[in-house]
Amino acid sequence: FALDLYDPFGFSKNRSEEKKARGRLAEVNNGRLAMLGIFGFLSADKIPGSVPALSSIAIPYDGNCMIPFEGNFHL
């Protein structure tokens, strides 16, 4: 790639390779946790009581939250 997707503006150009690797690993782990969090909210919305910690937080949604994951989704 012509553009470094981890650090597109070059903020870490003065960091050591070890610190860059640690930052990349932290970024991947944060992305994984974000995906698990979204999955938890989707589960709590579709199956009431499936995630007890979100029972008082999740807002009921009457639409189809899985539309973006279907094959015929268009913007």
CA distance linking residue 13 with residue 1, whole number of Å: 17
Write down the pTM of the prediction: 0.60
Kindly report, residue by residue over 9-64, the tens digit of the pLDDT. 888 889 999 998 998 899 999 999 999 988 888 888 788 888 888 777 766 667 77
Cα–Cα distance for residue pair 20/54, rounded to 1 Å: 35
